[in-house]
């Protein structure tokens, strides 16, 4: 009878040692819960920076095409949160860029990143300037979409639109 009871109970010491070894191996390969979370967050920031860079470059080029005195290179720096010393250029961007938005969508098993911006050239001769609409779209890999947007795409099953703001210098 005593032998049957010991067979039913797990051997606590051996199980603890095996559990410790398995967790150690998982952490060694970055598979622990905290390790996995730490590995994912920097990658998400990298992809977010990749998306931000592409969007900023498109908007900067459109700013230059809308208003020739805006340098595309300086505008890209400002839109990426750099170039705090370019106050005059920042003022011109604020005058020109009316609104912009970024949309992530899925169609036919592919993911797309779209940027849309509305800009107004400088007013001349008292006339109201015509508002220009600029739009660009590109296919984007699923892993290049920031985690929070991916979750919303899965949950909502419709395009996710984010506002675009000029970073404060």
Tokens 């296919």 appear where?
139
Return d(Cα 133, Cα 131) in angstroms, integer: 7
Q: HSE of 136 in the Cβ direction (CA atoms, 13 Å)?
A: 13
Going from N- to C-terminal start, the domains of the chain cover 48-163
Residues comprising the chain, all counted: 169
Tokens 């036919």 appear where?
108
Torsions phi, psi for 47 (to 5 deg): -70, -35
The pLDDT value recorded for residue 16 is 61
What are the tens digits of pLDDT across the range 66-112? 988 989 999 998 888 887 788 888 888 888 888 899 899 998 889 99
Tokens 């739009």 appear where?
135
What are the tens digits of pLDDT across the range 31-77? 544 443 343 444 445 546 667 788 889 999 999 999 889 899 999 98
């Amino acid at each position: 009878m005593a032998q049957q009871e010991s067979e039913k109970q797990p051997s606590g010491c051996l199980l603890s040692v095996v559990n410790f070894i398995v967790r150690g191996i998982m952490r060694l390969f970055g598979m622990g819960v905290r390790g996995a979370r730490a590995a994912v967050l920097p990658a998400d920031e990298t992809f977010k920076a990749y998306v931000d860079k592409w969007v900023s470059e498109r908007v900067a080029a459109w700013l230059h095409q809308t208003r020739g005195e805006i340098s595309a290179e300086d505008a890209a720096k400002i839109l990426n949160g750099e170039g705090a010393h370019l106050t005059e250029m920042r003022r011109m961007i604020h005058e020109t860029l009316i609104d912009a938005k970024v949309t992530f969508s899925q169609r036919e098993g592919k993911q797309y990143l779209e940027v849309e911006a509305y800009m107004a050239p400088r007013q001349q001769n008292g006339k109201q300037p015509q508002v220009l609409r600029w739009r660009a779209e590109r296919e984007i890999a699923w892993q290049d979409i920031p985690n929070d947007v991916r979750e919303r795409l899965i949950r909502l099953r419709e395009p996710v639109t984010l506002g675009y703001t000029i970073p404060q210098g």
